[in-house]
Structure 1
Amino acid sequence: MGKTAFVFPGQGAQFVGMGKDIYENNEIAKQEFDKIFSSLSFDLKTAMFEGPEETLKKTKYTQPAIVAMSLVLEKLVREKGIKPDFVAGHSVGEYAAFGSGEFLTLSDAVKLTAFRGETMNEIAESVNGGMAAIIGMESSKIEEVLKTVEGVVEAVNFNEPKQTVIAGQKDAIERACVALKEAGAKRALPLAVSGPFHSSLMKPAGEKLKSEAEKYDFKEGTAKLIANTTAEIISTPAEIKAEIYAQSFGPVKWVDTVNKLKENGVDTIYEIGPGKVLAGLIKKIDKELTVINVNSLDDIEKL
């Protein structure tokens, strides 16, 4: 019997109205959402359900919104009797994995995510950084080229074999895009983000998250988590806290994460949360894996 993994999407999957249909049409979802909303010091409910888009796009709202919707849907998947052996998330999606693996309560996972969003925003505003997606080039080649580029620029999101995201100082990103295209990359696309996420420039955010995490009651997980930064299995509160720190300025090794799940006997992956980005990436990493997308009540009913 193959094993099951739950995976959770990161920033970019948000949309105005997210979760509203689930909230209005499912009693369990309504209770879970209300618990989450009441634990926060700002109005996430309005930002998610009504917008405007400008508000939801602010990292302070985006990150907890994605994690909240992912975890409420996850609760409904469990109601169908499906439980994960492994959990993983892409970037901020890893915080949904903390909740899903029961390292933190749902409300605490969202609350810590809200702190992350605010902190990331604050640090991003103080450094002049950005990100760009590099398409059609092996990640090892990208890393080689980046060594020749002046300034801080690093490969940070290893999304699929031919798509890697780089982050760093704005001018260094521009120089890197030119150098990578000259070296054979098909495309180098600057991303509409507010900062150089997952790069070493974000280390001050890691320091703040490290001390914030000490205020939370972490438990031994009920599922094993594949960490973004190492693609290794972690399962103790100490390991989770170390990952929270490292992940804020470390890489998202998504290709290695998916390969690690397969190595450990996973054959079915549920992508739970808004959008279908991870399902697309997983298929490009390994076509043999079965991926089930869960982002609506319809999807829940089909399970």
Structure 2
Amino acid sequence: MQNIAFLFPGQGSQRPGMGKDLVARHPELADRYYRPADDILGFGLSRLCWEGTAEDLVPTEITQPAVFLTSVAVLHVLHGHGITPSVVAGHSLGEYAALVAAGVLDWRDALRLVRRRGELMAQVNERTPGAMAAVIGPAAEQVERICAEVAGRTGAVVEVANYNDPAQHVVSGERDAVREVVAVARALGAERTVALGVGAPFHCRLMAAVEEEFGAELDRVEFREPRVPVLSAVTAGPVRDGAEARRVLRRQLAGAVRWADTLRAIAASGTDTFVEAGPGRALSGFVRATLPGAVCHPAGQARRIDRLVAAPAAA
């Protein structure tokens, strides 16, 4: 398959049973990834992925390594079918899988980082309970104005965390402030609002409290030069070397995810075919909303990979 982007999902894409069908079809995945992951982390992540309930997968320190590991398994299967990317990008947590796909990070190092990232984010939530909610309908500028008004009036932290597509923006911050933003957005005619089942207020300045500690974790890991072009969703621009990748991962803790701009940048390079390489289908929806006419293939399950392999573009 030529001129294709691999997109890697973030937290919120987790599903009970994720990866189980892939291992049934490709047993080598268990020995290559899942059992080593259990040993690295010191608990049965594979069991949680395959047999855990939705509630089991909610804690941030579980969700993040689970989504990451499933994405790495999907990447392995796609490569086995001869499907490789010409560019990669990841949504928040998905940037770790994207950097693995680009050869910047070893998957084992990335797994350890993802686990620690989840632990630190959970600690922030324990100190300052937060929330996230999707606001669907209003343009980014209106959602930004609502956040600024609520923050100014209450003194609380609430910001736009994700610019997912032209009509979906996620707000993040202290719980009451997020609820207030949602109420104001509804009163002003938002089509819909959705409270997100996440374990912390990601991508807002509350997360700045753990940047230094996580930066020390990043400094212990080897970052190599990209073998495949990789775009950062923090900057919507290219990650040119390993040092820049390290800086971006630190910055993304408290920085907004500029996903729609990232998709537009990929499209501007001449790519109009996308593969969602991980659990869920949220990123495929963002592609359709942001780039009408682009082709996107969800590939988080064996049957969906079968459809991708059979697609004419894969020939």
TM superposition score category, shorter chain reference: over 0.9
Q: Which SS does the other structure have where 2:297 is aligned?
A: strand
1:253 corresponds, among 246, 254, 258, to: 258
Q: Give the deviation of 1:269 after TM superposition.
A: 0.8
CA contact (8 A) 1:5 1:269 kept: yes
Q: Indicate yes or no: 2:26 matched with 1:26.
A: yes
Q: Is the 8 A contact 2:9 2:278 kept in 1?
A: yes
Determine the structure 1 residue equivalent to 2:212. 207
Describe the superposition over 1:260-289 as per-residue Cα deviations: whole angstroms up to 9, x where unpaired.
000111121111111111111110111221
Alignment partner, residue 55 of structure 1: 56
Moved segments of 4+, more than 4 Å: none
**Structure 2 length as normaliser, TM-score?**
0.91
Match of 2:15 in 1: 15
Q: Quick one: distance in 1 between partners of 2:295 and 2:88?
A: 15
Question: Does the 8 Å contact 1:2/1:265 carry over to 2?
Answer: no
Residue type matched to 2:121 in 1? M
Q: Which residue of structure 2 lines up, in the alignment, with residue 42 of structure 1?
A: 43
Aligned counterpart in structure 1 of residue 196 of structure 2, from 187, 191, 196:
191
Equivalent-residue separation in structure 2 for 1:18 and 1:190 (angstroms): 23
* Secondary structure of the corresponding residue to residue 16 of structure 2: coil
Q: Render the CA deviation track for 1:174-230: whole Å, top value 9, x for unaligned.
A: 222232233332233333333211110111232222110111111111112211211
Q: Aligned pair count? A: 303
Could you tell me how far apart the structure 2 residues matched to 1:222 and 1:9 are?
A: 21
Separation in structure 2 between the aligned mates of residue 284 and residue 160 of structure 1, nearest angstrom: 6
Distance in 1 separating the partners of 2:2 and 2:202:
35
Residues 1:225 and 2:226 aligned together: no
Which of 256, 266, 269 is the matching residue for 2:274? 269
Decide whether the 8 Å contact of 1:133 with 1:164 is kept in 2: yes
CA distance in 1, matches of 2:2, 2:17: 36
Question: What SS does the corresponding residue of 2:149 show, helix, strand or coil?
Answer: coil
Aligned to 1:45, what secondary structure does the other structure show? helix
Q: Tell me if structure 2 keeps the 8 A contact 1:32–1:72.
A: no
- Whole-angstrom distance in 2 between the partners of 1:216 and 1:192: 30
1: distance between equivalents of 2:296 and 2:210? Answer: 33
Residues 142-153 of structure 1 aligned to structure 2 (within 5 Å): 142-149=143-150, 150=153, 151-153=156-158
State whether residues 2 and 267 of structure 1, in contact with CA within 8 Å, keep that contact through their aligned partners in structure 2: no
SS of the residue 2:46 aligns to: helix
Give unmatched runs, 5+ long, in structure 2.
310-315
Tell me how far 1:165 sits from its aligned partner: 0.6
CA shift for structure 1 position 258: 0.5
- Distance in 2, Cα, partners of 1:57 & 1:168: 18
Residues 8, 90 of structure 1: 8 Å contact kept: yes
TM-score scaled to structure 1, two decimals? 0.94
* Identical residues among aligned pairs (%): 34
- The alpha carbon displacement at 1:52 in A equals 4.0
Matched, 1:75 2:76: yes
Residue 41 of structure 1 and its aligned partner are, at CA, apart by: 2.4
Question: For 2:197 and 2:272, how far apart are their aligned partners in 1?
Answer: 34
* Residue pair 1:231, 1:257 contacting (<8 A) in 2 also: yes
Counterpart CA distance in 2 for 1:139 and 1:2 is 33
